[in-house]
Structure 1
Amino acid sequence: MLRSTMTTRRAVLAGAAGALLLPREGRARIPLGQPQAPYYYRFMLGEAECTVVSDGLLPLGDPRAAFVNIDKDEIARELRESFLPASAATLEQNVLVVNFGDRAVLFDTGMGTDTLFGTTTGKLLTTLRQAGIDPAQIDAVVMSHAHIDHCGGLVADDGTPNFPNAQYYIGQADFEYWTDDSKVPAAYPARGNFLAQARKNLLPLRDRLHFYRDHEQILPGVTALAAPGHTVSHTIFMIESGGKSLCYIGDLAHHPVLLLERPRTQFAYDTDPVQSAESRVRMLTMLAANRVPLLAYHFAWPGIGHVARQGDGFRYVPAPIQMQGVGAL
């Protein structure tokens, strides 16, 4: 009789515990599909306040088509060992705004309204406003080069500038190359889109463009460093404030694994792949040796970190994100 009572009691307790684990009828549930946090991140560089905003994800597609001069099995190995999918590469578009106090400088502008890479791009104006930045407050727009995903957000579809009070900076060779149909090879990927967006966004602003030169301090605290090859005058920028430095590397490297572990791997969208690889090795060697932090336009959000030498190549070390107050490099 005692054993039967104990067995029954265990069954009742087990049933009660199970009932506690089941959702009660009518209990409120957290709905699915909640939005992510706003797409911006702030940190201090010396006395300057930096904000990274996003133009959205850029799906590149099959990495075996985009990264060339490298064995396909090697691509799969590098991605697998970095816990990244081998079937599709997705790039970020990390747009940097540096507020020096007396001027605000924006670096590159995303895809604008062009949907060559889908509908996840073109978010820049939205994310700027999420970050409390009015496009009319931008004093200077600095472009690393004239590719569609870097100059595409300069001008609205009605022809009005998205940054009406800004001075614009770009390499003269890029401006002339990407607005001239005769200069871009017929085999260049998505040639029509690249030409159309360069013309749409750059030609209306021709009278407001400043053509920078290598090692020119284009603005106080912003120095241009030529790194050609990805485009004819692709340029990176050393940004300095209060004794601190950050290098905005634009498209010096699109991928933190495939173009760093073997940095002479070539990229399908380079105008001169060999020159691009040499620029990449030269500039990454300098950044690694001097331990200069970088911001990469296409690396995983928010794209801030360091590079270090690793064998014949490099490894990327992301910087920790600091969410208490405004962090500092």
Structure 2
Amino acid sequence: MMLLRRRFLAGMGAFGAAALLGPQRVWASAQIAFGDVRIDTLSDGNLMLPADFILGGMPEEELKVVVEAFGLSRDQLTPPCNVTLLRDGTHTVLFDVGAGPDFQPSAGKLAEALNLLDVPAEDVTHVVFTHAHPDHLWGVLDEFDEPVFVNAAHLIGRTEFDYWTNPDTVASIDSARTTFAVGAARRLSAMVENLTLLEDGADVLPGVIAHLTPGHTPGHMSFRVGEGKDAVMVVGDAIGNHHVAFVHPEWKSGSDQDAEMAARTRMMLLDDMARDKTAIIGFHLPDGGIGRVEKEGQGYRFVAGA
């Protein structure tokens, strides 16, 4: 497997008004290739989150060490959003589609990144969702509530679909995520006639296998692309950052809907990828999200682009 190059959009004009809203990640396309497969990660912009949404409730003294080591703010975090694009000469596949126009104004920039690579939305053959949170799903509809990827088959895990389309979810989910539930149900309902539901272990496409990695959401899925030394794991938010999730994967995070299950899933994934030297693509990891997992002390570290 080769990390081929990174491409950048130059200048403030690429960001528009969102550039004024806070710290920005440079727009990038990081690319790897093996055989006939080419994988790009495309920036959808970044989120702007209260730091305690991720860090709240973690052991304060130990957390302070991680915060200082990674230069994190205890007020606000601005994680990047990396959408994965796979092309193999036959299929053009997006793993997640970003936030679209209705979430945070610092996100929803996927269309501009696709334009950079000369990939029209009409050319996308498959849209595969890791889960149904806004920054991953909401970009499936445009500002007029029309489908963006009109020629694509759409795929999501059955458990994830059942959870977000259950009317009881809106009533039972914590209040901070009520809009998540309403927005997910609306978008999943809009595409239901063109939606395939995936089971754990399903073959999504030749060489792409779905794996249930629950915790962040009830039916979160990760996707293994390729085999052996060429294997890549698209993990979505199952490993949601490059700092506490790697250094202390056992810590529970408020960003996960089932924090205990998410921690178990995270530790399993990190252990497997470090042992097998599987490449990782994370939706909120830095430098385009592509890298390797290495064991370090009692935890792990993310090595970008390795």
**1:73 paired to 2:66:** no
Is 223-232 or 181-190 further displaced after alignment?
181-190
Residue pair 1:61, 1:87 contacting (<8 A) in 2 also: yes
Superposition deviation, residue 114 in structure 1: 1.9
Residue in structure 1 matched with residue 91 of structure 2 by the alignment: 103
Q: 3-state SS of the aligned residue for 2:30?
A: strand
Partner residue, 2:193: 207
Once the two structures are superposed, the pairs formed by residues 51-130 of structure 1 within 5 Å of their partners are 51-62=40-51, 64-115=52-103, 118-130=104-116
- Alignment match of 2:33 (pick from 40, 44, 50): 44
Aligned residue number for residue 277 of structure 2: 291
Task: Name the one with the larger helix percent.
Answer: 2
Give the CA deviation at 1:138.
0.5
Residues 229, 272 of structure 1: 8 Å contact kept: yes
Displacement of 1:149 after TM fit? 1.1
Identical counterparts, % of pairs:
28
Distance in 1 between residues matched to 2:188 and 2:67, nearest whole Å:
36
Displacement of 1:191 in angstroms is: 2.3
Q: CA deviation at 1:313?
A: 1.8
2:298 aligned partner: 312
Q: Which runs of 5+ in 2 are unaligned?
A: 1-10, 16-25
Is contact 1:155-1:200 (8 Å) kept?
A: no
CA-CA distance at 1:307 after TM superposition: 0.8
Mapping for residues 177-192 of structure 1, pairs under 5 Å: 177-184=163-170, 186=172, 188=174, 190-192=176-178
Amino acid at match of 2:205: L
2:40 alignment partner, SS class: strand
Which whole-Å CA distance do the structure 2 matches of 1:79 and 1:106 have between them? 33
CA contact (8 A) 1:136 1:164 kept: yes
Residues 121 and 38 from structure 1, CA distance in 2 versus in 1: closer, same or farther, beyond 3 angstroms?
Answer: closer
Aligned counterparts, 1:1-329, within 5 A: 39-62=28-51, 64-115=52-103, 118-184=104-170, 186=172, 188=174, 190-240=176-226, 244-319=230-305
Q: Provide the rounded CA distance (Å) in 2 between the counterparts of 1:242 and 1:208.
A: 33
Where 2:78 maps in the other structure, the secondary structure is strand
Deviates more, 1:259-268 or 1:189-198: 189-198
Separation in 2, partners of 1:308, 1:125: 33
Distance in 1 between the 2:205 and 2:102 partners? 30
Q: TM-score if structure 1 supplies the norm length? A: 0.81
What is the distance in 2 between the residues matched to 1:145 and 1:319? 25
- Give the Cα separation in 2 of the matches to 1:281 and 1:190: 26
Q: Deviations over 1:162-208 (max 9, x none)?
A: 00011111011211212334124656253232023212321111111
In the alignment, what sits opposite 2:20?
none
CA 39–310 in structure 1, closer or farther in 2 if over 3 Å, else same? closer
After TM superposition, the structure 1 stretch with the greater mean CA deviation from structure 2, 231-240 or 261-270, is 261-270
Report deviation, 1:74. Answer: 2.5
Give, in angstroms, the shift of residue 100 of structure 1. 0.8
Q: In the alignment, residue 99 of structure 2 is paired with which amino acid?
A: M
One-letter amino acid of the counterpart of residue 59, structure 2:
D
Bigger mean CA deviation after superposition, 152-161 or 67-76:
67-76
- Letter paired with 1:154: V
Amino acid in the other structure paired with 2:191: L
CA distance in 2, matches of 1:59, 1:175: 26
Q: Deviations over 1:25-75 (max 9, x none)?
A: xxxxxxx9676875423331332111211110111222x342344223322
How large is the Cα RMSD of the aligned pairs? 2.1
Bigger drift between 283-292 and 118-127 goes to: 118-127
- TM-score (structure 2 length as normaliser): 0.87
- For these two proteins, the number of residue pairs brought into alignment is 286
Cα distance between partner residues in 2 of 1:242 and 1:74: 36
Question: Which shows bigger deviation, 66-75 or 230-239?
Answer: 66-75
